[in-house]
Amino acid sequence: MKKYFQIGALAFVIIIVGFGIWAYNNPQAAIETFFDMGGNEEGESIPLITGKEVNGDTISLKQYEGNKFVVMLGKIDCEVCQKAYPTLEKLKAEHPDTRFVLIGQGSPQAYAEVKKEHGFEFPLISASKDIQKQMNFKTFPVFYLVDKNGVIVKRLNGFDKEKLQNILNEGES
C-alpha cells in the first residue's frame, strides 16, 4: 500500500511540475484556460453599442457595418493599456485605411486627455455601465478585428505589438 501511495504522490508531483512549466512558458494560454476573460469571442457578432465619444458626439458601432474595423477595450488606469497607446498611434499611422474605435472604462474627461495627448483621430467612447455590460468588460486591453458583417474574426487579450500588427495586416486583406 505504501508503494502505491509513493507512486501516486510522485505522479502528482510530476503533473504539477509539468503544468507549472507549461504555464510559465505559456502564461497567456494558462490564464485564458482557467479564467473568464469576459468580452466576446471569435465568431460572435460584436455588440453594436452606441455611446458618447469624448468630444460629445454620439458614436455607434453600427456605422462601421460593411467595413472591417478594430475595437480596443481599455481601462483608463490600466498600465498595459497605457503602454499600448504609443504603439496604437504608430500602427494607426501605418494602417490609415483601418478603422479604429477605443471603448474605455473611465471618465470622458480622462479619455479626452488621452486622445489629445496621443493625437488619436479615431473615436474614443467612455463606456457607460450599459456599454460595459453589453461588451462584458472583465480584462484589459482586448483587441477585436471585426469583419464587414460585424463578426469578430480575431481577438487579442492583452497587448503584444507583433500580434496586434498581424491583426491589423489581416484587417487590410
Same domain for 52 and 122: yes
| Residues 56 and 7 grouped into a single domain | no
Model pLDDT, residue 36: 44
Residue 30's pLDDT is: 47
Q: What is the pLDDT of residues 142-169, one digit of tens each?
A: 999 999 999 999 999 888 888 888 888 8
Mean pLDDT of 81-100: 85
Verify that 137 and 124 share a domain, yes or no. Answer: yes
Q: Are residues 77 and 15 in the same domain?
A: no
Burial of 42 by CB count in 10 Å (0-12 exposed, 13-18 middle, 19+ buried)? exposed
Confidence label for 28 from pLDDT (cuts 50, 70 and 90)? low
Do 110 and 146 lie in a common domain? yes
pLDDT at 25 over 80: no
Same domain, 56 and 41: yes
Residues 61 and 93 in one domain: yes
Total number of domains constituting the chain:
2
- pLDDT digit string, tens, across residues 31-86: 555 444 457 788 899 999 999 999 889 999 999 988 889 999 999 988 999 999 98
149 and 95 part of one domain: yes
Q: Indicate whether 138 and 87 sit together in one domain.
A: yes
Question: Do residues 20 and 66 both lie within one domain?
Answer: no
Q: Which residue range forms the structural domain that includes residue 95?
A: 37-172
CA-wise closest residue to 144 among 103, 97, 94: 103
The mean of the pLDDT values for the chain is: 83
DSSP 8-state secondary structure symbol assigned to residue 145 = E
The model scores a pTM over 0.85:
no
Instruction: Tell whether 26 and 95 lie within a shared domain.
Output: no
Is residue 11 domain-shared with residue 64, that is, in the same domain? no
What CATH number does residue 85 fall under? 3.40.30.10
Distance CA 60, CA 50 (A): 4
Higher pLDDT, 78 or 7: 78
pLDDT reported for residue 90: 82
